[in-house]
């Protein structure tokens, strides 16, 4: 079930549906993002972060499905970790950013993403 949330997130990112991306994050979610040095911990800040990303031409994400580790905790809570690649255009060139990620997801909630950490791979 947590994988389906990741798939919804990925589809919304790739289709430029910022509101749908933001609506997956719980009211008290924390986003430790790839492209910001600050913790993002309000729905407005999360929405603005993704609005900024979607302003980049060709912005999208590709999940490395083989890398996904789904740790089911209890009560609908799962920790998903793995690798994905962000891609976008900058100055006419395609940029690819290899990233590792962790999501804490509560599948019992309408806004299931509780925590999301995403950082560029060294």
Chain segment 70-106, per-residue pLDDT in tens: 999 999 999 999 999 999 999 999 999 999 999 999 9
8 Å CB contact between 56 and 89: yes
pLDDT at 117: 98
Q: Is the pLDDT of residue 37 over 90?
A: no
pTM: 0.93
Q: Is the pLDDT of residue 66 over 90?
A: yes
Q: Which domains are delineated in the chain?
A: 2-120 (3.10.450.50)
8 Å CB contact between 79 and 73: yes
pLDDT, the chain, mean: 96
Strand spans (E) along 11-59:
25-32, 39-40
User: What is the arithmetic mean of pLDDT over 56-81?
Assistant: 97
The CA dihedral of 59, 121, 76, 65, to the nearest 10 degrees, is: 70
CA distances from 87 to 54, 94, 114 (A): 11, 7, 25
Q: Is the pLDDT of residue 1 over 90?
A: no
């Amino acid at each position: 079930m947590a994988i389906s949330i990741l798939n919804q997130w990925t589809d919304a990112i790739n289709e430029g549906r910022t509101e749908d991306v933001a609506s997956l994050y719980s009211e008290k979610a924390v986003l430790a993002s790839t492209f910001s040095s600050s913790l993002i911990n309000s729905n407005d800040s999360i929405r603005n972060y993704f609005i900024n990303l979607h302003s980049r031409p060709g912005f999208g994400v590709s999940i490395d499905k083989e890398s996904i580790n789904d740790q089911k905790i209890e009560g609908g809570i799962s920790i998903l970790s793995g690798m994905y690649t962000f891609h976008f255009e900058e100055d006419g060139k395609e940029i690819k950013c290899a990233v590792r990620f962790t999501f804490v997801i509560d599948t019992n909630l309408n806004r299931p993403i509780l925590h999301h950490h995403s950082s560029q791979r060294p």
